[in-house]
């Protein structure tokens, strides 16, 4: 069942837990090496180095005008590009059903970034048909350009089929989805990473801007798999400072508890 949701500025925000499990051996490293380095002072904090069990959260947003937005599509099926390191298959379809939402009711899919644990559930089981047939799939133009210059398996697994179906929207910068819901760029983890603000940034669905609780304790604890640790740190510091000043809520992708009050 989905986690308990909340309402912000009239928008219902429902976390959808796609999967839970440790990072697979294909990319796993000791936690100290993944965040900040073994000598980073954050590791002197009690409990900081406890084993990392990842939760893979997507989010459903229901606006007051009836628009339905899905943030990220999760791990996908057993043959997902994430299969080498994450607990596939994901259970997003079951989570949506439990929330009372059918795939055809989703109006917009926001992909925070084009990594396999956030975008691999974008297609139906045939690998060609959009999983959300009436939705536009929104990515940052910078993100799409970056991926297309790579040899990522997501090109064939996600991007090209969505483009062929005519439902992929690549936009630059801020995009308004509803008066209470806006998408904005949060680069660093990937070049075109984006987040979703609800209620004038009183709540932000932040993708992988903050991956682990140690980054709340010290936002300078960079992640080894960030595309640019420097840009990711700047983005994280700025976003956390803004939310803290507003006493806002951070909605994360990989924390056990999806919502963190700042």
Instruction: Give a yes or no: residue 44 inside a domain.
Output: no
- The Cα 91–Cα 106 span in angstroms is 17
Instruction: Give a yes or no: residue 21 inside a domain.
Output: yes
- The Cα 65–Cα 62 span in angstroms is 8
Note the pLDDT of residue 210: 98
Instruction: Give a yes or no: residue 35 inside a domain.
Output: no
Instruction: Give a yes or no: residue 200 inside a domain.
Output: yes
Q: What is the pLDDT of residues 138-165, one digit of tens each?
A: 999 999 999 999 999 999 999 999 999 9
Note the pLDDT of residue 52: 85
Structural domain containing residue 162: 6-26+52-261
Instruction: Give a yes or no: residue 138 inside a domain.
Output: yes
Q: What is the pLDDT of residues 48-68, one digit of tens each?
A: 666 789 999 999 999 999 999
Instruction: Give a yes or no: residue 42 inside a domain.
Output: no
Note the pLDDT of residue 32: 84
Q: C-alpha distances in angstroms, 3 versus 17, 98, 205?
A: 7, 10, 15
Instruction: Give a yes or no: residue 210 inside a domain.
Output: yes
Q: What is the mean pLDDT of each run of 10 residues along the chain (262 residues)?
A: 86 98 88 82 69 94 97 97 95 97 98 98 96 99 97 96 98 97 98 98 98 93 96 98 98 98 96
CATH number at residue 87: 3.60.15.10
Please count the structural domains in the chain: 1
Sole residue written with tokens 């006493």: 247
Instruction: Give a yes or no: residue 45 inside a domain.
Output: no
Note the pLDDT of residue 46: 66
């Amino acid at each position: 069942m989905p986690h308990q949701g909340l309402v912000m500025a009239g928008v219902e925000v429902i976390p959808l837990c796609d999967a839970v499990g440790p990072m697979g051996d294909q990319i796993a490293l000791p936690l100290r090496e993944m965040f900040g380095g073994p000598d980073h002072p954050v590791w002197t904090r009690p409990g900081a180095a406890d084993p990392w069990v990842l939760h893979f959260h997507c989010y459903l947003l229901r606006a007051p005008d009836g628009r339905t937005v899905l943030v990220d599509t999760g791990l996908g099926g057993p043959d997902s590009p994430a299969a080498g390191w994450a607990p596939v298959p994901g259970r997003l379809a079951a989570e949506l059903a439990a929330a009372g939402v059918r795939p055809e009711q989703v109006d917009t899919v926001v992909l925070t970034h084009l990594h396999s644990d956030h975008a691999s559930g974008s297609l139906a089981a045939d690998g060609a048909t959009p999983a959300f047939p009436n939705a536009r799939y929104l990515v940052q133009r910078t993100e799409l350009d970056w991926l297309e210059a790579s040899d990522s398996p997501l090109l064939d697994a996600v991007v090209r089929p969505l483009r062929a179906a005519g439902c992929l929207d690549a936009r630059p910068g801020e995009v308004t989805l509803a008066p209470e819901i806006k998408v904005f760029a949060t680069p660093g983890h990937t070049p075109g990473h984006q987040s979703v603000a609800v209620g004038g940034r009183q709540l932000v669905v932040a993708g992988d801007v903050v991956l682990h609780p140690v980054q709340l304790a010290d936002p300078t604890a960079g992640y080894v798999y960030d595309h640019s640790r420097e840009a990711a740190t700047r983005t994280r510091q700025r976003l956390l400072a803004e939310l803290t000043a507003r006493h806002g809520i951070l909605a994360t992708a990989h924390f056990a508890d999806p919502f963190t009050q700042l």
